[in-house]
């Protein structure tokens, strides 16, 4: 096992922060990727066979899945077998050099391994330990398995998503995972601020279901204050009937959010339905809400008679917020999206890798976003630089099966499970 090139360059507001990443799959890695994007040195601890998402198809680059690459940039990969005493001891030496630990094991797993939050915080009292789970560290559902669709279903979110009169559907984006990941990153940042100000660590408990319940927002308030149980929302807003989608003559769908009196007037002007402006059924938003069906019976045919490009132009001229409902390819090709560096080009194994960029634009922020690491590529370098291990120590651990990856077949490319070199830095598209 040979030493790698130096770790990701220390830039960004978290450049003096070390995060031990004990997460796999989606929610947890998304949380730690955010911290890495902000400049933290994120040490991803993987089992010998690696994060399970490395093998999720259908698309692969240099032996790892596009799924894995999407949430593991700006990290270093260290393989430690936590089922061994020597592996756990090695992890604890890394924790001593860290500021935060983020994990998404099932509740109780780390305690069974002897590396629970109490052990870690006793080792380093100022440490932030964030646990990201499906249902939290306590409660009747604590030990249930949780996936994105499960929390979307339990939270009531799926009951709102789908065509009116149809059946509930899951959000096309994995909001159960991704929003929980964002909350975990936020809470970890808060813990880091507290540690820097007061020298006191934190125990953070973030649950996917809690996060989804919080996203009910005003919909929950409608029930809690008025007893209203909303149903499927379809392509419209339950409170604002001109906040909705329209189908145009060319078959394209557009979104329109005419949610102010001025935009209501502009919508009517753009659609050529200005006679509605004098109709007492539609004077105020509340009037329009009460007569939603009658309003739609006029607006829908008007939109259906116009080409989408022409209608979007007219809406823009009238100051009405509107947009085409893009497919993913169209969204990623949008000139504004490209201008904002939300599509970046990286390189891995000699292949170009295009990925979603960093949405957090901060002065003096990171400019060298690195592609996700190969399995175990940084094991020796991290153990030596953060854990204080000698080359002989690392070799002994590897011989005992405590560190280092298994030699497993790589998908979509050559076997790179033993490679140790860093991938080249990213280039903006």
Residue 426, pLDDT above cutoff 60? no
pTM of the full structure: 0.91
* Residue 18 contacts residue 387 (beta carbons within 8 Å): no
**Could you check whether the bond before residue 293 is cis, i.e. omega within 30 degrees of 0?**
no
Mean pLDDT of 304-310: 98
pLDDT at position 425:
29
Whats the size of the chain, residue-wise? 429
Residue 363, pLDDT above cutoff 90? no
Give the residue numbers annotated as catalytic, written as ranges. Answer: 237
Distance CA 15, CA 186 (A): 17
DSSP state letters, 366-422: ---PBPPPPTTTTHHHHHHHTT---HHHHHHHHHTTSBS----PPSSSS--TT--SP
Q: Cα–Cα distances in Å, from 119 out to 47, 85, 207?
A: 21, 15, 22
Mean pLDDT of 189-204: 97
> If you search the block for the tokens 């006793």, which residue do you land on?
122
Domains of the chain from N-terminus onward: 18-214+343-428 (3.40.50.10540), 253-324 (3.30.1540.10)
What is the three-state SS of 307-323? Answer: CHHHHHHHHHHCCCCEE
Residue 3, pLDDT above cutoff 50? no
pLDDT digits (tens, 9 = 90+) for 88-97: 999 999 999 9
Distance CA 415, CA 72 (A): 19
Q: Which of 105, 99, 80 is nearest to 90 (CA)?
A: 80
Indicate the pLDDT class of residue 367, thresholds 50, 70 and 90: low
pLDDT at position 5:
42
Partner residues linked to 352 by β-bridges: 347
Helix (H) or strand (E) holding 77: strand 75-79
β strands within 209-350, DSSP E: 243-247, 253-257, 322-324, 343-348
């Amino acid at each position: 096992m040979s030493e790698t090139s130096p770790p990701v360059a220390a830039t960004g507001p978290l450049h003096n922060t070390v995060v031990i990443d004990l997460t796999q799959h989606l929610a947890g890695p998304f949380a730690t990727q955010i911290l890495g994007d902000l400049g933290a040195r994120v040490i991803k601890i993987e089992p010998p066979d690696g994060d399970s998402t490395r093998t999720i198809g259908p698309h692969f680059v240099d032996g790892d899945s596009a799924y894995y690459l999407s949430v593991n940039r700006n990290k270093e990969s260290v393989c430690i077998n936590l089922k061994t005493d020597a592996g756990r001891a090695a992890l604890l030496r890394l924790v001593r050099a860290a500021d935060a630990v983020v994990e998404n094991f099932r509740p109780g797993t780390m305690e069974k391994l002897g590396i629970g939050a109490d052990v870690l915080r006793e080792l380093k009292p100022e440490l932030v330990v964030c646990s990201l789970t499906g249902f939290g560290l306590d409660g009747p559902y604590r030990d249930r398995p949780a996936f994105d669709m499960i929390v979307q279903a339990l939270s009531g979110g799926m009951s709102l998503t789908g065509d009116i009169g149809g059946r509930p559907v899951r959000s096309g984006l994995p909001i159960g995972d991704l929003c929980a990941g964002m909350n975990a990153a936020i809470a970890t940042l808060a813990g880091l601020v507290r540690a820097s100000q007061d020298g006191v660590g934190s125990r953070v408990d973030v649950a996917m279901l809690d996060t989804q319940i919080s996203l009910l927002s005003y919909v929950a308030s409608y029930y809690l204050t008025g007893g209203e149980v909303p149903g499927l929302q379809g392509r419209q807003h339950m409170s604002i009937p001109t906040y909705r989608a329209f189908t145009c003559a060319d078959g394209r769908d557009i979104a329109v959010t005419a949610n102010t009196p001025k935009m209501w007037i502009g919508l009517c002007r753009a659609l050529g339905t200005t006679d509605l402006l004098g109709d007492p059924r539609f004077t105020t938003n509340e009037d329009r809400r009460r007569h939603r069906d009658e309003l739609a019976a006029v607006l829908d045919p008007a939109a259906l008679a116009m080409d989408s490009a022409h209608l979007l132009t007219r809406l823009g001229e009238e100051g009405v917020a509107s947009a085409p409902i893009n497919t993913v390819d169209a969204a990623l090709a949008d000139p504004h999206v490209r201008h904002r560096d939300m599509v970046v080009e990286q390189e891995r194994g000699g292949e170009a890798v295009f990925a979603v960029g960093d949405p957090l634009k901060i002065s003096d922020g990171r400019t060298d976003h690195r592609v996700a690491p190969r399995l175990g590529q940084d094991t020796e370098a991290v153990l030596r630089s953060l854990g204080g291990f000698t080359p002989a120590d690392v070799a002994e651990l590897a011989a005992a099966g405590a560190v280092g990856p298994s030699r497993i077949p790589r998908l979509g490319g050559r076997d790179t499970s033993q490679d140790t070199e860093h991938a080249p830095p990213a280039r903006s598209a």
